[in-house]
C-alpha cells in the first residue's frame, strides 16, 4: 500500500463489524474493473472478434480435456467422469457453476460414473425422487432424499476445477485491475477484505467476500463511500437505499454558470428532469420524457454556505452548489447541472465545455460526496459521515 500514489489513497472514516466507510479520492474506481477499460465512458468498446462467449469457451474446454493424463488426478473416478462428460451429446447443457455441476453428475452418475455405481452399496438404486411431492410431504421427503457420496462429490469437484482452469483462458477476458486501482481493492490491501478465496466455490458468500457493494461513486467523483461487511448488513442497507429510508446524501458541485442564482437570484430550488440511458453512447445518460422511457429524477439544490464564510461562497469563479439527490439515477447530478447551468467543472461528459479526457493526466471533477446519513444496519442508530472537499 506504500506504493499507492498519495492523491489516490483512500481514507478510513469508520469501520465496525457490519460497515466500513471511506473517503474516496477523485479518479479512483469504487470497485475493481478491467485494466484496459477506459475511465472515459464516451469511448465505445467492441468485443474482440477472437473472444468466445462463456458457453462457447465452456464447450471448447470440455472438448480439450486431457483424458490420457491420468496420473494428475487425485480422485480415482475423475478420469472416467471427464471421459464420459466429453462424450455428452449436448455439452452446453453441462452446468458452469459448481453446485449445479455436482448435482448434474449425481443425477447422471449411471452414465457418467458406472464404476462408482458398482461400488455403491445399493448399486445406485437410491435415486433422487423424480415426482413432485405434496406440500404436506415436503418435510418428510427432505429426510429421505439420498445424500451424495463423498467420493462422488470429490470427483465432481476435481473435474469441475479441471474444466474451469481450461475454460477461463479460452474466454480471453480483459486483464483485471490491480488492488490499488480501486477503493475496494485498497481496503483488501489494508486487511479489511479477503478476496483470495473468491474462486473457492465451496465457501459461502460471506466467507468469499467480506466487502459487499451497497452503492458506488463515479470514478471521477470523490467523497463518502460505504461498503457492507456481511450479507445481512448489505441486504438491509440496499433496501434502505431503494426505499430512501433515512438515507440522506449531500454533494457539493462547482459550476461556472448557474442562471437560477445569477439571473433570478434564487438560492435554492428543485430540478425535476427525467433521465434514461443514452441510445447512442455507452453508459452515458440523457434527459428523456417519461413517455419515452425516461425515469423520474429529482435533485434539490441550494447555494452552498461554508461554515467559515459569512456570505455565500460565490465568486467570479462561479458558484458552489449543495446538491441533495432524491433519486439516484446514473450521472443524475452531472446531467442536471449541465441542463440547468454550465455543468460541473472538470466534467468530461456533460456541460457547456466538456473537458477532453486524458488518462495520463486526468482532470479533477469538482463533484464531491460530502455527507452521508443512514441507520446502522444492526443497531438502528442514526449515523452521519462527512468528508472534506479538497478544492
Q: What is the pLDDT of residues 226-275, one digit of tens each?
A: 999 999 999 999 999 988 767 999 999 999 999 999 999 999 999 999 99
* CA-based end-to-end distance of the chain: 25
**Section 360-369 average pLDDT:** 85
Instruction: Give yes or no for residue 154 having a pLDDT over 80.
Output: yes
Q: Kindly state the DSSP code that residue 385 receives in the 8-state scheme.
A: E
Give the global pTM.
Answer: 0.69
**Residues classed as catalytic:** 218
* Contact by Cβ (8 Å): 4, 186: yes
- 179 or 42, higher pLDDT: 179
* Contact by Cβ (8 Å): 27, 219: yes
Q: Kindly state the DSSP code that residue 10 receives in the 8-state scheme.
A: -
**How far is it, in rounded angstroms, from Cα 82 to Cα 79?**
5
- 138 or 360, higher pLDDT: 360
Q: What is the pLDDT of residue 37?
A: 57
| CA atoms within 13 A of residue 247's CA, in its CB half-sphere | 21
Q: What is the pLDDT of residue 130?
A: 45
Q: E strands, 318-362, where?
A: 318-325
Q: Tell me whether residue 369 is exposed, middle or buried, using C-beta atoms within 10 angstroms of its C-beta: 0 to 12, 13 to 18, 19 or more.
A: buried
- 75 or 267, higher pLDDT: 267
Q: Cell numbers 483485471 correspond to what residue?
A: 176
State how far the alpha carbon of 8 is from the alpha carbons of 210, 288, 332, 390, in Å: 22, 35, 24, 13
Helix (H) or strand (E) holding 283: none
Q: Kindly state the DSSP code that residue 350 receives in the 8-state scheme.
A: S
Helices (H), ranges, 12-97: 54-63, 78-86
Going by their DSSP bridges, the two strands 222-228 and 19-24 should be labelled as antiparallel
Q: Tens of pLDDT along 286-336?
A: 999 999 999 999 999 999 965 445 555 655 678 999 999 999 999 999 999
* Contact by Cβ (8 Å): 85, 112: yes
- Which residues, other chains included, contact 176 with Cβ-Cβ below 8 Å and sequence gap of 6+? 32, 33, 34, 35
State how far the alpha carbon of 336 is from the alpha carbons of 24, 66, 79, 312, 329, in Å: 23, 57, 61, 21, 11
Q: 192 is written with which cell numbers?
A: 479489511
Tell me if residue 268 falls in helix, strand or coil.
strand
Averaged pLDDT score across all residues of the chain: 83
Q: What is the pLDDT of residue 145?
A: 57
**Section 170-194 average pLDDT:** 87
Break the chain down into helix, strand, coil percent, rounded to 5: 30, 20, 50
**How far is it, in rounded angstroms, from Cα 22 to Cα 15?**
9
Q: How confident is the model at residue 70 (pLDDT cuts 50, 70, 90)?
A: low
* Contact by Cβ (8 Å): 218, 369: no
* Contact by Cβ (8 Å): 346, 364: yes
**How far is it, in rounded angstroms, from Cα 233 to Cα 212?**
9
Q: Tens of pLDDT along 19-67?
A: 999 999 999 999 998 775 555 444 444 555 567 889 999 999 999 988 7
Q: What is the pLDDT of residue 361?
A: 65
369 beta partners: 223, 251
Could you give the percent of the chain with pLDDT greater than 90? 61
Amino acid at each position: 500500500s506504500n506504493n499507492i500514489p498519495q492523491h489516490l489513497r483512500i481514507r478510513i472514516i469508520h469501520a465496525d463489524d457490519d460497515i466500513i466507510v471511506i473517503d474516496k479520492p477523485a479518479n479512483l474506481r469504487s470497485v475493481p474493473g478491467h485494466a484496459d477499460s477506459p475511465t472515459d465512458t464516451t469511448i465505445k468498446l467492441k468485443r474482440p472478434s477472437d473472444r468466445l462467449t462463456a458457453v462457447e469457451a465452456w464447450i471448447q474446454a470440455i472438448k480439450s480435456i486431457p483424458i490420457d493424463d491420468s496420473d494428475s488426478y487425485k480422485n480415482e473416478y475423475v478420469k472416467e467422469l471427464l471421459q464420459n462428460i466429453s462424450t455428452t451429446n449436448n455439452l452446453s447443457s453441462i452446468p458452469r457453476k459448481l453446485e449445479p455441476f455436482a448435482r448434474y453428475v449425481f443425477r447422471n452418475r449411471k452414465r457418467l460414473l458406472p464404476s462408482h455405481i458398482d461400488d455403491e452399496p445399493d448399486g445406485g438404486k437410491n435415486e433422487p425422487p423424480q415426482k413432485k411431492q405434496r406440500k404436506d410431504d415436503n418435510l418428510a421427503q427432505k429426510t429421505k432424499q439420498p445424500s451424495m457420496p463423498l467420493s462422488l462429490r470429490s470427483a465432481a469437484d476435481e473435474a469441475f476445477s479441471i474444466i474451469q482452469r481450461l475454460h477461463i483462458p479460452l474466454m480471453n477476458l480483459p486483464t483485471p485491475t490491480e488492488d490499488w486501482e480501486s477503493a475496494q481493492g485498497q481496503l483488501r490491501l489494508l486487511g479489511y477484505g479477503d478476496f483470495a478465496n473468491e474462486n473457492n466455490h465451496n465457501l459461502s458468500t460471506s466467507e468469499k467476500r467480506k466487502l459487499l457493494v451497497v452503492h458506488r461513486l463515479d470514478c471521477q467523483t470523490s467523497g463518502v463511500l460505504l461498503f457492507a461487511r456481511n450479507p445481512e448488513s448489505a441486504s438491509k442497507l440496499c433496501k434502505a437505499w431503494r426505499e430512501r429510508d433515512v438515507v440522506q446524501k449531500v454533494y457539493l458541485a462547482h459550476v461556472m454558470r448557474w442562471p437560477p442564482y445569477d439571473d433570478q437570484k434564487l438560492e435554492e430550488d428543485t430540478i425535476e428532469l427525467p433521465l434514461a440511458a443514452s441510445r447512442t453512447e455507452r453508459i452515458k445518460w440523457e434527459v428523456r420524457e417519461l413517455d419515452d422511457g425516461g425515469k423520474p429524477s429529482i435533485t434539490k439544490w441550494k447555494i452552498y454556505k461554508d461554515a467559515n464564510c459569512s456570505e455565500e461562497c460565490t465568486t467570479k469563479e462561479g458558484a458552489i452548489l449543495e446538491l441533495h439527490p432524491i433519486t439516484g439515477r446514473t450521472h443524475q447530478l452531472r446531467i442536471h447541472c449541465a441542463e440547468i447551468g454550465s455543468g460541473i467543472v472538470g466534467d468530461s461528459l456533460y456541460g457547456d465545455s466538456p473537458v477532453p479526457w486524458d488518462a495520463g493526466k486526468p482532470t479533477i471533477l469538482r463533484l464531491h460526496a460530502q455527507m452521508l446519513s443512514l441507520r446502522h444496519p444492526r443497531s438502528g442508530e442514526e449515523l452521519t459521515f462527512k468528508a472534506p472537499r479538497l478544492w
